[in-house]
Amino acid sequence: MILTLLVIIPLLGGLLSFYLGKISPMLPRWAALSALSVDFILLLILWIKPDAIISTQGGQWIAEVNLEWIPQLGINFHLAMDGLNFLLTLLTVFLGITAVASSWTEIRERIGFFHLNLLAVLSGIIGTFLSLDLFIFYFFWELMLIPMYFLIAIWGHEDRFYASIKFFIFTQASGLIMLVAILGLYFIHGKNTGAYTFDYTQLLGTTLSPAAEMWLMLGFLIAFAVKLPVIPIHTWLPDAHTEAPTAGSVILAGLLLKTGAYGMIRFIIPLFPHASSVIAPVIFTLAAAGILYGALVAFGQTDLKRLIAYTSVSHMGFVLLGVFMFNDIALKGAVLQMLCHGVSTGALFIIAGALQERMHTREMARMGGLWATTPRIGAVMLFFALASLGLPGLGNFIAEFLVLLGSFGANKTVASIASVGLILAMSYSLWMMQRVFHGPNEFNWSLADFKTREMAVMAAMVAIILWLGVYPQPVLDRLGNMQTGPQSLSASVKETR
């Protein structure tokens, strides 16, 4: 029941926000914040009571719901939570709260409709993380698309229509390819066993020919690679990040990219282990290339949000590398990187949005010398810039260190190339700080600094990155319970290797 509530409450909160938007501009904000706070409390209850483990044929789950929906087609409303999607759902709700708070003064038109779309995206993301029926998974996967399109197209910036259409085409086309792969797996399993089902736990171990396994795996991989994103199919991301409103950028960077990585961990490796091992050298080569490419292209950006967007391409390359190294240490590092990147890059986008709201520009050439007028913004951005470059003592360092440690044991060449990304991250992070907050204030900016609401959001995000850097063990312990079915995901990875 609690899993169903996690999905439904944000959607109901969005509908309530839409209705309240006709009454008062403030009510939708509070309604959205209240709905997400309820979800956050439910997740904290699950965190405090880790002994609530349900053992089923599909593995051990913190919580599970499995109801017949369309039995004639083998479709069940099957949601389940283990350590992996628990942490990602917690990240979703937390970043949702920060997205609402960061948009408090930025969004001034159609406020109710804005929060309806924002919470609908979050509901789709939570459903994507929790679904164990591939039909339901695809439903939630597509549910994320339309409201995010509206967030960019209606409340975005100058080139919002181009960016939103490009985002829609890339994600919709890749999603349709995945649907074909899902149907292919459905019919092959049905032909082999006589049981036509979309249930993930039953589809595990489906007998596939090498060719069929490879083609089906590629169908899933294309959809997840677009969302991650993997070069060269990443070009939608900088445009979408740059033109989206602050909340849209936070959700895109912090959450939508993570659905692609989650899909690779949850579905591709367990469902198609042999095809995954065959294609792994190509994937982790692209991962290393993406780490270097994203970092180098970031240097060439003059737009602050676009620079941060390209850093996401680089940092998510570490996630891809960790997943396809088939190494338990690298895998846990990849998941930890998903969490740390979601918080730190989300914070950087909030800061960039706050500066744009005050200055009406994202061009770093028009900035400079802002520390004297906005010391709070400068101090917070310095912290997250240091987190982004992997400063020891912060969560991003632990995550990238684990990925490189696990990768070095599996492929020294690729790990060595990827490690160059850490040096480049240090360079572009400090260069960004220099361009924005130091040097002469040539345009005589006198800006309002962060107020209590904004500092409260930043303080929470700072605390998380510090906690993950100083004491990540509780999170790593949670990742010990990542299920692919009867066995843990860690065991599955070892078998694939």
pLDDT in tens, 290-336: 999 999 999 889 899 999 999 999 999 999 999 999 988 999 999 99
How far apart are the C-alpha atoms of 121 and 140, rounded to whole Å? 9
Residue 452, pLDDT > 50, answer yes
**Residue-range domain boundaries for the chain:** 276-480
Q: What is the 3-state secondary structure (H, E, C) of the chain?
A: CHHHHHHHHHHHHHHHHHHHCCCCCCHHHHHHHHHHHHHHHHHHHHHHCCCCCEEECCEEECEEEEEEEEHHHCEEEEEEECHHHHHHHHHHHHHHHHHHHHCCCCCCCCHHHHHHHHHHHHHHHHHHHHECEHHHHHHHHHHCHHHHHHHHHHHCCCCHHHHHHHHHHHHHHHHHHHHHHHHHHHHHHHHHHCCCCCEHHHHCCCCCCHHHHHHHHHHHHHHHHHHCCCCCCCCHHHHHHHHCCHHHHHHHHHHHHHHHHHHHHHHHHHHCHHHHHHHHHHHHHHHHHHHHHHHHHHHCCCEHHHHHHHHHHHHHHHHHHHHCCCCHHHHHHHHHHHHHHHHHHHHHHHHHHHHHHHHCCCEHHHCCCCCCCCHHHHHHHHHHHHHHCCCCCCHHHHHHHHHHHHHHHHCHHHHHHHHHHHHHHHHHHHHHHHHHHCCCCCCCCCCCCCCHHHHHHHHHHHHHHHHHHHCCHHHHHHCCCCECCCCEHHHHHHHHC
pLDDT at 481: 61
pLDDT in tens, 366-385: 998 999 999 999 999 999 99
pLDDT at 495: 53
pLDDT at 483: 56
pLDDT at 118: 96
pLDDT in tens, 65-98: 999 999 999 999 999 998 899 999 999 999 999 9
pLDDT in tens, 196-209: 999 999 999 888 99
Percent of the chain with pLDDT over 70: 95
Phi/psi-derived region of residue 439, left when phi > 0, alpha when psi is between -120 and 50, beta in every other case: left
For residue 386, give Cα distances in angstroms to 60, 348, 437, 468. 38, 11, 14, 14
Whether the Cβ atoms of residue 428 and residue 349 lie closer than 8 Å to each other? no
| Mean pLDDT of the 447-463 span | 93
The dihedrals phi and psi of 343, each to the nearest 5 degrees, come to -75, -50
| Mean pLDDT of the 108-133 span | 95
Instruction: Spell out the residues 6+ positions from residue 240 whose beta carbon is closer than 8 angstroms to its own.
Output: 152, 163, 164, 166, 167, 248, 252
Percent of the chain with pLDDT over 90: 75
Taking the complete model, does pTM exceed 0.75, yes or no?
yes
Higher pLDDT residue, 47 or 175?
A: 175
| C-beta atoms surrounding 246 within 10 Å | 24
Residue 348, pLDDT > 80, answer yes
| Mean pLDDT of the 384-397 span | 93
Residue 132, pLDDT > 50, answer yes
| Mean pLDDT of the 228-251 span | 91
pLDDT at 485: 42
pLDDT at 25: 87
Is the preceding omega at residue 232 within 30 degrees of 0, hence cis?
Answer: yes
pLDDT at 490: 47
Residue 50, pLDDT > 70, answer no
The single residue listed with the structure tokens 């190294």 is 325
The single residue listed with the structure tokens 């995206």 is 121
For residue 169, give Cα distances in angstroms to 162, 166, 229, 479. 11, 5, 14, 34
pLDDT in tens, 254-293: 999 999 999 999 999 999 999 999 999 999 899 999 999 9
**Is residue 496 very low, low, confident or very high in pLDDT (cuts 50, 70, 90)?**
low
| Mean pLDDT of the 122-137 span | 96
pLDDT at 59: 59
* Nearest C-alpha neighbor of 122 from the set 144, 91, 146, 139: 144
How far apart are the C-alpha atoms of 91 and 28, rounded to whole Å? 22
